[in-house]
A and B are shown apart, each in its own frame.
Chain A
Amino acid sequence: MSAVAVLKGGRSLERQVSLRSGARVEDALERLGQDVVALDVGPDLISQLRDASPDVAFIAMHGRDGEDGTVQELLEILDIPYTGSGVVACVRATDKVLAKHLMIEAGIPTPEFFAFSETAFRELGAADALPAIEERLEFPIVVKPSSQGSALGIKFARSASDVPAALVAAFSYDSRVLLERHIDGRDLAVSILDGEPLPVVEAVPVGDGFYDFEARYEIGRTEFVCPAELPDGVTEQAQELAVRTYRLLGCSAFGRVDLMLGGDGELTVLEANPIPGLTETSLLPQAAEAAGISFDELVGRIVELALERAPA
């Protein structure tokens, strides 16, 4: 039996999801007979960790602080082994712009994009380049903050007049945003456990009629199919791309890679999540389940991997 500190909550905008992921992980760890200390991450994190002196920290945080390498860095300093990817992978994956540049360099297909900082618009007149970008990417264009992990701040610009407001919204979350070519197709997610891909999950919008972009992120408006029913070879291809992306960014233990299957049959990688959701409705647990791995086994395996990685 080891003492496990479950880190959850924090100041991230995904606090709510993180609290749910954390609660579920705590339950699983207790069932596995571990000694669990739950920590809602705040200004007293270091002293709380010193008091608890756990054998391992389970990071059930999403978004800022938890997923961007900040908490990982602190745990390194305290010499506490932790679950999931290390600092560098977190930094790379959370920064969508950096991740996409790395993918392009490595020959992994990702939708065409342009990235800008707020300063580029304020001080370098980047707005003058918008018409050229719009022409290149073609409408509709997806506008998103570079670092926000969830759907928050992602806007869909249908015409040039939508772009400035979409940029203002995206800059609410990050000082860097990207404009990305919209891929019309199927949403796929490949979760990875210890370097091995799990069955592909497809997010399918519920109901008929007009499918609006924002709907896919709303509870009850999306259904998940796992394993996804895909044309011959596409599953393997998606899994291979996901594993390549995961390795490229240096992820370890577990993660999730989101892809699009375009109408033309081409797969593109959108992003990688170093700490995907672990709630009742999250994709990684669903994919694990489809592979015959229960939630408790999944959590147990993630903790083992953290302890194996730690220097004896």
Chain B
Amino acid sequence: MSTSRDIERYAGLFAARTRVMKSSAMRDLMAVTARPEVISLAGGLPDTSTFPPDTFAAVAQRIATESCAKALQYGPTEGLDETKTCIAEVMAAEGMRVAPEDLIVTTGGQQVIDLVTKTLIDPGDVVIAEGPTYPGAVPVFSAYQADVVQVDMDADGMRVDLLEETLDRLERDGRRPKFIYTVPSFQNPAGVTMSQPRRRRLVEVAHERELLVLEDNPYGLLRYEGDAPPPLLSLDGGVYVMYLGTFSKILSPGIRLGWVVAPPPVLEKINLGKQAADLCTSTLSQLMVQAYFEESRWRDYVESLTEVYRARRDTMLDALADHFPRQAEWTRPAGGLFIWVTLPDFIDTTDLLARALRDNVAFVPGEAAFLDGRGRNAMRLNFSGSDEDAIREGIRRIGEVVTEQVELYGTLTGEHQAVQVEEPPAADDNVLQLPKRSARSRRAEGS
């Protein structure tokens, strides 16, 4: 009989990169969030129940009659031309023009992060990311042993002035970062969008310093208000900006279909990396997208999603205003899937999650979005994956435990902070402040 579960047996065989692990406490807690009785605002899930089953059936039928053998066969590494045409259509909807040879179809957007990092990073090389950054990028950067330097954000996205300071500092230390990773629109997890002036400046910085930028844009089309600033790719013209797109949030994450646009020499290396990783992206999935684009009006579906998510965002913002104490601050996203909440710095959101799980509600603790131990007083909330009743109830429960901890802290410090609920912060002053120091400095003055 095998003892294949005994880890000691294999311990000596593991590569050094497998030793990089995030806090085990948080992983243990996240295991409990998957239980059915838990209202989870922790995921990043689109609501796939909104997709019409009839359309799915028509798409499948069409592939069966028209391209059965092709759908079941390998395809070219860079992807099928018919899929690339659909991708060009999606990008055109956001004001970008690409030719089929400018891009590679990938197995989800996540593979783009992996392939770009694999292509550019040797152990110890610097990657610049936003602080907070997409929690799913953290294990990728860690696996390639990148040294991730995070640049703070505010309501207008990455602080490009701080980015320049960081680049200067790195240069003085003789270190040249390989690329800047950013989610400029409706950032995951912060929910903020990079302003147009900052986008322009970021692209200028990339040109001045000859640095690559990876623009991760999964939610650009999920905009609930206002006008879209231009994508970095269109500002740069494809010289230093690489672009990551995906069908996950506008169609389905289950089909695992994304794409990457990059300067030709970089794209060539990425293509080699992809060939090694999985030869090609699922032909079946690619043909499904093609059939879907012919069968139905994809923009109508995105429009219907936008309406559903807008209402959910508004519900969550209202619930936060109703149930969170005045010491809490949060962002007001104009699109995307997430709201980022910053609590007083005496609250550790990993511990708070343990308390919240007793009330069957979950969120992502902020520490997941940092590699440097920050974010411990913040949390990411998802509003796309739960219906409005669940959002209201989930936020009510989290608000209750936060209020409980704020009150308890007040009692412990003798401040007896009055817990009251106030109006939500106005749209223009929801600045991300990481970390907040007010509560502790008040105590220092008082004692």
Using a CB–CB distance below 8 Å, which chain A residues touch chain B?
11-17, 19, 23-24, 27, 30-31, 42, 118, 121-122, 127-128, 130, 150-153, 161, 163-165, 167-173, 217-220, 280-281, 295
Contacts and interface: CB of A to CB of B under 8 A. Distances in A.
Query: What 7 pairs between A and B have smallest CB-CB spacing?
Result: A280-B7, A164-B412, A172-B355, A165-B346, A172-B351, A169-B351, A16-B31
A13 B27 contact: no
A43 to B, nearest CB: 8
Nearest to B35: A11
Interface stretch (B125-133, B247-255, B403-411): B403-411
Contact of B443 (A17, A27, A121, A161): A161
Interface stretch (B16-24, B44-52, B237-245, B328-336): B16-24
Contacts of B407: 122
26 contacts: A12-B32, A13-B28, A13-B32, A13-B357, A16-B27, A16-B31, A118-B408, A122-B407, A122-B408, A127-B411, A127-B414, A152-B351, A161-B444, A165-B346, A165-B347, A165-B348, A168-B346, A169-B351, A171-B355, A171-B405, A172-B348, A173-B354, A218-B21, A219-B21, A220-B21, A280-B7
Interface in B21-68: 21, 23-25, 27-29, 31-32, 35
B440 interface: yes
Interface of B: 1, 3, 5-8, 19, 21, 23-25, 27-29, 31-32, 35, 345-348, 351-352, 354-355, 357, 405, 407-409, 411-414, 440, 443-444
Contact of A172 (B32, B354, B412): B354
Contacts of A122: 407-408, 411
Contact of A164 (B28, B352, B409): B409
A220 B31 CA distance: 20
Nearest to B408: A168
Nearest to A167: B412
Contact of B411 (A23, A121, A218): A121
Contacts of B413: 127, 164
A152 B408 contact: no
Contact of A30 (B1, B8, B348): B1
Q: Which of B6, B7, B411, B414 has the most A CB atoms < 10 Å from its CB?
A: B411
B349 to A, nearest CB: 10
A13 to B, nearest CB: 6
Contacts of A30: 1
B21 to A, nearest CB: 6
B254 to A, nearest CB: 25
A152 B412 CA distance: 21
B23 A218 contact: yes
Contacts of A14: 28
A15 B412 CA distance: 31
Given A15-B32, A121-B408, A164-B413, A31 B1 contact: yes
Given A13-B357, A173-B351, 19 more contacts: A15-B32, A19-B31, A31-B1, A127-B413, A152-B25, A152-B28, A152-B354, A161-B443, A164-B413, A165-B348, A168-B347, A168-B408, A168-B412, A169-B348, A169-B351, A170-B351, A218-B23, A219-B21, A219-B24
Contacts of A153: 351, 354
Contacts of B6: 24, 280, 295
B6 to A, nearest CB: 6
A19 B351 CA distance: 21
Contacts of A19: 31
Contacts of A173: 351, 354-355
A151 B25 CA distance: 8
B354 A168 contact: no
A130 B28 CA distance: 32
A15 B28 contact: yes
B405 A168 contact: yes
Nearest to A127: B412
Contacts of A15: 28, 31-32
A121 B407 CA distance: 11
Contacts of B24: 217-219
Nearest to A122: B411
A121 B414 CA distance: 10
Contacts of B354: 13, 152-153, 172-173
A305 B405 CA distance: 45
A15 B24 CA distance: 12
A64 B29 CA distance: 13
Q: Which of B29, B345, B412 has the most A CB atoms < 10 Å from its CB?
A: B412
A127 B408 CA distance: 10
Contacts of A169: 348, 351
Given A15-B31, A168-B347, A172-B354, A27 B412 contact: no
B28 A161 contact: no
Q: Which of A12, A118, A121, A171 has the most B CB atoms < 10 Å from its CB?
A: A171
A16 B345 CA distance: 28
B412 A121 contact: yes
A281 B341 CA distance: 36
A17 B29 CA distance: 11
B434 to A, nearest CB: 17
B425 to A, nearest CB: 24
Q: Which of B1, B347, B357, B443 has the most A CB atoms < 10 Å from its CB?
A: B1
B74 to A, nearest CB: 36
Given A153-B351, A153-B354, A161 B440 contact: yes
